[in-house]
Amino acid sequence: MNILLAASEAVPFSKTGGLADVCGTLPGELARLGHQVSVILPAYRQSWCCGLPIESLGIDFIVPIGSKTVTGHLLQSAMPGTNVPVYLVQQDQYFDRDDLYQVGGKDYVDNCERFVFFSRSVLEAIRLLGLGVDVLHANDWQTGLIPAYLKIEYHRIPRYEHIASLFTVHNLGYQGNFWHWDMLLTGLDWKYFNWHQMEFHGSLNLLKTGLVFADSINTVSPRYAQEIQGAELGCGLEGTLQQRCGVLSGILNGMDGDHWNPATDPHLSAHYDVNSRAEGKAACKAALQRELGLPQRPEVPLIGLIGRLCVQKGIDLVVKVMQHWTQDQDAQWVILGAGEPEFERPIADLARRFPNKVAARLGFDAPLAHRIEAGADVFLMPSRYEPCGLNQMYSLAYGTVPVVRATGGLADTIIDASEQSLRAGTANGYSFTEYGDLALSETLHRACAAYRRRKDVWNQLIAAGMRQDWSWTRSAHEYVQLYEKTLARLKETPGV
């Protein structure tokens, strides 16, 4: 197959979140499976800092944006370590900015116009570059117009009529909502601005647009694909998703095993695998405690957390539990992340008051994140919702036992250590269902009790996790199957 992946970000060219990791890794895995793959991205100012050569193709193009036309320019690079070409759409008025989507914590006022331009550019690039695309894989609201343009404006044009579209939702909470007059920027007929298609409570919704017009839809875990069809996590789009449930599925993201491997990780003080984990993790734990100024006590469970300090990640529960545990439990905590001041302040305060129990680094430090994954005994992810999650996969690979709330991808990857799952050999962590600090505290108690008094159980959990395959190769095979189904679906229902 010939696959074109369109996204607003992909490592190493641009990144704000997990979308970039997926779009930077999946194409290479698909290419290794024998498919022809290319990627198209905006050429941000950030893109020029990736350290890779970026060359002009000498191709200019013009696309309509409302009542005006805007010129763009095509550049080319490649995904590192692969033969996957990366095309970058250069339009400095839109993309030559300090940040990708916002400034000073507020979205750029012309975000709709910027990604109308990018979406149209993607479709023009197919013609200009002579790409014989079979599947056009769009991602998140920034590319939500692509399936609509393909269905409405391009479906009868040679080279386009047989292109199938897949739309991946990485996080339904980010939808690309804009005022209704921005519909004029899209160039699409006002008849599509209705509650069945592009309108959402009086606004133009680009994520909804992608959901409605794509031939297939997927999310980044099977559980999340089910959850977003309900009111609690549907973010107002559950009705649209229910109507399209027949073409909706979930595929777990994969883990970059080259970058996250305790046997070769350059950021660790000691390397280990499943057979040498006891000595290796002990050395990494002692080194982490020294680095963070915590007492080197191997008998005390070290609880790690890495990520955004926000409600989605369950940090409100974490703060409540830490406030009690620092008073009456013999455990150590290491927190790495940044986020909302209402969470940063109490965590920093606990680190000051209990320096022998809490180490907090309010920011992000990639090498330290690797050392926490290796040195911690328990990794905490009590998310309110989690489309997929990657840190629990890193933890499994590094022999660190996850404690998670059973939602989204966390529910799909972590099997609670019940007596039944332990007997079956499937358990790899601890999980709870109810969103509350009491449920989190009780689950942590179970994990820490096993760490202290049930070494047989603890070692079984570690070994089970380290032997599991969460690689992108597994996920890429599933994407290939989904692409094939999407092509077949287009043949069954051609046209608008």
Quick one: pLDDT band at residue 494, thresholds 50, 70, 90?
low
pLDDT of 258 higher than 90? no
User: Exposed, middle or buried: residue 69 (CB in 10 Å: 0-12, 13-18, 19+)?
Assistant: exposed
Quick one: pLDDT band at residue 491, thresholds 50, 70, 90?
confident
What are the tens digits of pLDDT across the range 141-166?
999 999 999 999 999 999 899 999 99
Average pLDDT of 442-458? 97
Pick 277-469's CATH classification: 3.40.50.300, 3.40.190.170, 3.30.230.70, 3.40.50.2000. 3.40.50.2000
Higher pLDDT, 399 or 256: 399
What are the tens digits of pLDDT across the range 129-139?
999 999 999 99
**Residue-level pLDDT at 434:** 97
pTM strictly above 0.75: yes
Residue range(s) occupied by CATH 3.40.50.2000 in the chain? 2-254+473-492, 277-469
Name the token pair of 211.
């959901």
**Residue-level pLDDT at 469:** 92
Task: Give the residue among 308, 240, 16, 32 at the shortest CA–CA distance from 139.
Answer: 16
pLDDT of 371 higher than 70? yes
What are the tens digits of pLDDT across the range 165-175?
999 999 999 99
pLDDT of 48 higher than 90? yes
CB 482 within 8 A of CB 165: no
Coil vs helix vs strand at 160: coil
What are the tens digits of pLDDT across the range 60-118?
999 999 999 999 999 999 999 999 999 999 999 999 999 999 998 899 999 999 999 99
**Residue-level pLDDT at 357:** 98
**Residue-level pLDDT at 37:** 98
**Residue-level pLDDT at 256:** 87
**Residue-level pLDDT at 495:** 54
Q: Across the strands, what pairs with 201?
A: none
pLDDT of 435 higher than 80? yes
**In 312-329, which positions are buried (b, 16+ CB within 10 angstroms) versus exposed (e)?**
ebbbbbbbbbbeebbeeb
The second-level CATH assignment, the architecture, of 2-254+473-492 is 3-Layer(aba) Sandwich (3.40)
What are the tens digits of pLDDT across the range 321-362?
999 999 999 999 999 999 999 999 999 999 999 999 999 999
Mean pLDDT of the chain: 96
Average pLDDT of 191-199? 97
For residue 401, count other CB atoms closer than 10 A to its CB: 26
Helix axes 18-32, 472-492, angle to 10 degrees: 80
Cα distances (angstroms) measured from residue 367 to each of 148, 187, 359: 41, 46, 16
For residue 424, count other CB atoms closer than 10 A to its CB: 10
CB 428 within 8 A of CB 274: no
What contacts 468, CB < 8 A, 6 or more positions away? Answer: 396, 428
Cα distances (angstroms) measured from residue 348 to each of 11, 182, 364: 31, 43, 15
Average pLDDT of 469-486? 96
**Residue-level pLDDT at 298:** 97
pLDDT of 220 higher than 70? yes
Average pLDDT of 370-380? 98
∠ CA 417-311-349, rounded to 5°: 95
Name the token pair of 173.
């909470």
**Residue-level pLDDT at 105:** 82
Quick one: pLDDT band at residue 493, thresholds 50, 70, 90?
confident
